[in-house]
Structure 1
Amino acid sequence: MDQIFLGFAQLLQPSVLLLLTLGVLAGLVVGSIPGINDNIAFAVFIPFSFGLPADQALALMVGVYCAAAAGGAIPAIMIKVPGTASALITTIDGNAMARTGQAGRALSIAMTSSVVGGLISSLVLLVCAPALANIALRFGYVENAALTILGLSSVVGLLSGNVLKGMISAALGLLVATIGYSQVTGLPRYTFGSVNLIEGVPFVPMLVGLFGVAAVFELLRDIFKERRESQPYTSIPVIGSMKLESGLVRRLLPVWGTSSAIGNFIGVLPGAGMLMAIYLAYDQAARRYRRRFAGKEGEAEWGKGTPEGIAAPEAANNAVTASSMVPLLSLGIPGNSTSALFIGAMALHGLVPGPLLFAQHGEIAWMVIVAFLVANIVMWPLAFVVIRVVSRTIFSIPKSVMVGIILLLCILGAYSDGNNLFNVWVALGAGVVAFAMNLAGIPLGPAILGLVLGAQMEASISNSLNISQGSWLIFIDPVNHPIAAAMIAFSALMWVAPLISGLRGRKEPAGTGQSTPVSES
């Protein structure tokens, strides 16, 4: 407890607290710029920490790290272009709700969910860091392979419509993930002689295209439709009321709790990544929504503007931020790519994360931990200020002008990832594919999930089979790998549960005793 008070004493110095607040504000603004991912947002501010003392520099970086993920939800909801990769899933229900005139409600749900997830994760980091670090140490190749299988199994929650189209989407993502050097054989695959594809399809330009460029095509389609039907040009939906009614808050409490727990669990696992947490949380929220609210009067179809579809990914992504610092501060192992950049920021000031950090620089280590808690508290009021300012200056622009602005930002965002013109072509090509998938009714979510998990799954499964000398039973070994066996069992349950629910739904009408047959739709 004395160490926690020491951390607060270090953080609450006026200069340190000011830098933390500036970091939160900067993270919200940079995160709200379409085409910039979390890594870029964080890396942009590392040079600003060069001339600062260690406590001020790390407070600034904590603020940016916490707020960038939340800021990405603003353009995701308003113009269907995620500001950061962490807001990928928020675009689905968030933009759908904005198009019904409830942009303020959607943004308020997103920001409140981010703050709740961040606060829960910060408290977990504050209280349970040593215990969670021991869990992270138990994850080897077999457990990581089972985790990727569990993550890919969450695709079931995204298949609310045509299951075949959803499976095609997931297969397409897995296929793209195989492009580049094989982590098993070391040989190039599907590169067609291009040196730009040796390391795989560039991830950031791919995401920029799938969402940003595709959004440009959708806006153009809206403009042409308005011209054809002689409708006046319309601007992006205005914000409107941002007040959340108490009933909605009570309704979202279980979603916040579950999603935050998922984000905390994924965050402490090295290499698991924020996107896996988002998809798992979204899947669990989808199951709960269909069980309790689907089909009721006044409730939207899942994926068409549901509050849970916004709350789950936003709570999960901010829960990952603080929990990803558990293995970093305790073991010196980054939980994800952005926390890996945090190691660089610490190294600039002669700080080496790991067990010795708490012994040699205890005041700095605990200041970083409590800074995550304070950053989320500061972020809540600042987020609403940023939303109002951004909405007045940017999102009130007519669609015809916004098309050019979004396309320019997408091109700049794709090019800045490696300063390579090839990335621009990747973004444009991905945008065409995403727009075609949208026209064909093929969901984009499973493809993104396959793209994210494909390479990690292949490498983990291959290394696991090398350990077991080719035996697949290693994944269901409850004695030597109980964590992996439990995750495989849960993955199987995720696939079987919808089948059981479907069979039960067919039997219920027959058992009601009614003579009138029930027609199937």
Structure 2
Amino acid sequence: MDYSALLAAGEHALSLWPLLSLLAGVTLGLVVGSIPGLNDTITLAVLVPITFAMPSDVAFPLLVGVYCAACFGGAFPAILLKIPGTASSVLTAVDGHAMVKQGLAGRALGIATYSSCFAGTLSALVLVFFAPLLAQYALKFGPAEYFSLCVLGLSTVVGMGSGNVMKCAFSCLLGLLVAMVGLSPESGYPRFTFDNFWLLEGLPLTPILIGLFGLSVVIEMLCRDAGATAEAEVEHRTPIRFRDMLLPWSLVRRLMPTWLSASALGNVIGILPGAGMLVAIYMAYERVRRRFGERCGQGLPEGIAAPEAANNSVVASSMVPLLSLGIPGNSTSALFLGALLIQGLRPGPSLFNDSPDVAWLIVICFVFANLVMFPLGLLLARFVPNLIRAIPQPLLAAAIAGLCFTGAFAIGNSVFGIVVALVFGVVGFVFNRMQVPLSPFILALVLAPVVERAFFQSMALSGGSPLYFVTQPLSAAMLTFTALFLLWPLFKRHFFKSRRSLAAD
């Protein structure tokens, strides 16, 4: 690891404008996460086009701050109102709101703050040490290895879609189909363009993301029952004092095993492309539920600590495959892919060699963002939740729509970007209503060009022999793991069916 480059990046990150940008991003992320309907993905989708006019050392600290803090900010309404500000705080609402009803709102917010910052800092350290290491090793990857790696990334989506395998597979296949629109990289022949000039270069990624994660939420907000929303906003009013949010050392020692186990789980899940934050959250909470049984849901501190540590540990670790291999770990880190491309950078093994200043700046900003998030989180926990009820839903929906349309237009200075965002806004709304996950779609959309290019290069090197993929040791190992991920749901179903049969006998 290049310690001199890391120290130089740390020194630059603490200079005036990058530090102010990071503080602004963390503050914005906390506010955005506290507003139901908004999340880090929507905010980044709106901010990415704006960063085109910013210097890279200002743009990336802003995006990193939003990404780190919005995930934690969703815990505010989840605990106080039992309204998850983000999808990552769904399980936090269960035990968190139960503590509020017991008059322990400050204690619940303190547990969420400590858990998020502890796990986020560990995740950032994983990014510091593993991203450049993986990038150096990835320089040895050939076309066969890249093909197998992308196939492995797609297979993890299906293999981890517990109880939802068919929907994950459908979402993934649809992403592959959308990625095929445009000119074939091998023959130059147009595919699925329907003689439309705008489709020759394919569908632009950023307007698709803006539609899926921005406009779909606007449609959802407009369709939401106003009466149900008003009823959900009835708050159990408990005064929140600063000293209540400071945890005693005895509670910190009690929660430490939960933080460590949930952080380790979240880091592993985050590094796997496409596995998703919700997988880590539910797995971490399930471990707590097995341990404490019926006490879960009754205001158990571990019930807050586990999901908050798991979701924040995914944040930085999901950037490991993006920065080192050019493969986004989840849909939010895919937006960072768009930001890097807008700045003229190409994520992957060469990023730390070609643009080490930017690569190390992004890495070190994740560490600083989690450290800054602790005092800001404790400070804003008393004030930010009041914004939840202060902004009318129609006004919020109109503001989000305006920002989304502006961002979609700014990508290519074309109305075509707005049309793409509108179409995929409807697609995202339908997916949400049908409970079809979006992460497989995004991952397939990003990986499809890499898979296609690597496949044709491998065929050219091997003279058209498919055995080339299994004669390369690293490629064969990744294809073996791919088979395991695909067969795991079938094995699990057969295993539990056999156990039920034995129990019945």
Offset at residue 417 of structure 1 (A): 2.3
468, 488, 502: which one aligns with 2:479: 488
The residue aligned with 2:146 is 144
Percent identity among equivalent residues?
28
The residue aligned with 1:270 is none
TM-aligned CA distance change 1:508 to 1:185, over 3 Å = same
Query: Within the alignment, does 1:503 sit opposite 2:494 as a pair?
Result: yes
Letter paired with 1:152: L
Letter paired with 1:260: N
Letter paired with 1:134: Q
Query: Within the alignment, does 1:250 sit opposite 2:245 as a pair?
Result: no
Distance in 1 separating the partners of 2:195 and 2:73: 37
Distance in 2 separating the partners of 1:325 and 1:340: 12
CA RMSD of aligned residues (A): 4.8
Letter paired with 1:201: L
TM-aligned CA distance change 1:160 to 1:133, over 3 Å = closer
Distance in 1 separating the partners of 2:408 and 2:474: 39
Residues 260, 315 of structure 1: 8 Å contact kept: yes
TM-aligned CA distance change 1:199 to 1:389, over 3 Å = farther
Query: Within the alignment, does 1:192 sit opposite 2:194 as a pair?
Result: yes
Distance in 1 separating the partners of 2:485 and 2:51: 41
Query: Within the alignment, does 1:420 sit opposite 2:414 as a pair?
Result: yes
Distance in 2 separating the partners of 1:312 and 1:386: 22
Distance in 2 separating the partners of 1:368 and 1:495: 34
TM-aligned CA distance change 1:167 to 1:29, over 3 Å = same
Residues 157, 286 of structure 1: 8 Å contact kept: no
The residue aligned with 2:122 is 116
Letter paired with 1:502: R
TM-aligned CA distance change 1:380 to 1:224, over 3 Å = closer
TM-aligned CA distance change 1:340 to 1:45, over 3 Å = closer
Structure 2 unaligned residues grouped into runs of 5+: 33-37, 79-84, 98-107, 298-302, 327-335
Per-residue CA distance 1:65-112 (angstroms, 9 max, x = gap): 6424324536877899xxxxxxxxx95343575599759577875555
Task: Report SS of the residue matched to 2:412.
Answer: coil
The residue aligned with 1:437 is 431
Offset at residue 368 of structure 1 (A): 8.8
Distance in 1 separating the partners of 2:212 and 2:339: 22
Offset at residue 369 of structure 1 (A): 7.4
Distance in 1 separating the partners of 2:469 and 2:211: 36
Offset at residue 223 of structure 1 (A): 2.5
Offset at residue 489 of structure 1 (A): 1.0
Offset at residue 309 of structure 1 (A): 6.6
Distance in 1 separating the partners of 2:420 and 2:73: 22
**Pairs within 5 Å for 1:300-379:** 311-312=309-310, 314-319=312-317, 321=319, 338=339, 373-374=367-368, 376-379=370-373
The residue aligned with 1:218 is 220
Larger mean Cα displacement after TM superposition, 205-214 or 244-253: 244-253
Distance in 2 separating the partners of 1:485 and 1:238: 57
Task: Report SS of the residue matched to 1:438.
Answer: helix
Per-residue CA distance 1:254-313 (angstroms, 9 max, x = gap): 3423543566xx6xxxxxxxxx6453676577667668858964769xxxx997676556
Distance in 1 separating the partners of 2:42 and 2:21: 16
Distance in 2 separating the partners of 1:450 and 1:157: 14
Letter paired with 1:416: A
**Pairs within 5 Å for 1:18-417:** 18-29=16-27, 32=32, 41=47, 58=57, 63-64=61-62, 66-73=64-71, 91-94=86-89, 97=92, 112-124=118-130, 129=132, 132-157=134-159, 159-223=161-225, 226=228, 232=230, 246=252, 250-260=257-267, 277=273, 279=275, 293=289, 297=294, 311-312=309-310, 314-319=312-317, 321=319, 338=339, 373-374=367-368, 376-382=370-376, 385=379, 391-393=385-387, 396-417=390-411
The residue aligned with 1:331 is none
TM-aligned CA distance change 1:471 to 1:11, over 3 Å = closer
Offset at residue 153 of structure 1 (A): 0.9
Offset at residue 433 of structure 1 (A): 2.0
Distance in 1 separating the partners of 2:429 and 2:123: 32
Larger mean Cα displacement after TM superposition, 502-511 or 244-253: 244-253
Task: Report SS of the residue matched to 2:225.
Answer: helix
Offset at residue 380 of structure 1 (A): 3.9
Distance in 1 separating the partners of 2:176 and 2:8: 49
The residue aligned with 1:462 is 456
Letter paired with 2:491: I
Residues 24, 63 of structure 1: 8 Å contact kept: yes
Offset at residue 154 of structure 1 (A): 1.4
Distance in 2 separating the partners of 1:194 and 1:154: 35
Letter paired with 2:452: E
TM-aligned CA distance change 1:413 to 1:311, over 3 Å = farther
> TM-score by structure 1 length?
0.68
> TM-score by structure 2 length?
0.70
Structure 1 unaligned residues grouped into runs of 5+: 50-56, 81-89, 267-275, 329-334, 346-351
Distance in 2 separating the partners of 1:442 and 1:62: 31
TM-aligned CA distance change 1:306 to 1:430, over 3 Å = farther
Offset at residue 148 of structure 1 (A): 0.9
Offset at residue 145 of structure 1 (A): 1.0
TM-aligned CA distance change 1:141 to 1:367, over 3 Å = closer
Offset at residue 215 of structure 1 (A): 1.6
TM-aligned CA distance change 1:234 to 1:284, over 3 Å = closer
Query: Within the alignment, does 1:448 sit opposite 2:419 as a pair?
Result: no
Distance in 1 separating the partners of 2:160 and 2:246: 29
Letter paired with 1:443: P
Larger mean Cα displacement after TM superposition, 388-397 or 287-296: 287-296
Residues 256, 312 of structure 1: 8 Å contact kept: yes
Larger mean Cα displacement after TM superposition, 438-447 or 69-78: 69-78
Distance in 2 separating the partners of 1:108 and 1:365: 28
Residues 124, 363 of structure 2: 8 Å contact kept: no
TM-aligned CA distance change 1:338 to 1:455, over 3 Å = same
Task: Report SS of the residue matched to 2:89.
Answer: helix
Offset at residue 395 of structure 1 (A): 6.5
Residues 212, 407 of structure 1: 8 Å contact kept: yes
Letter paired with 2:89: G
Offset at residue 206 of structure 1 (A): 1.4
Distance in 1 separating the partners of 2:355 and 2:421: 42
Distance in 1 separating the partners of 2:466 and 2:246: 52
Letter paired with 2:20: L
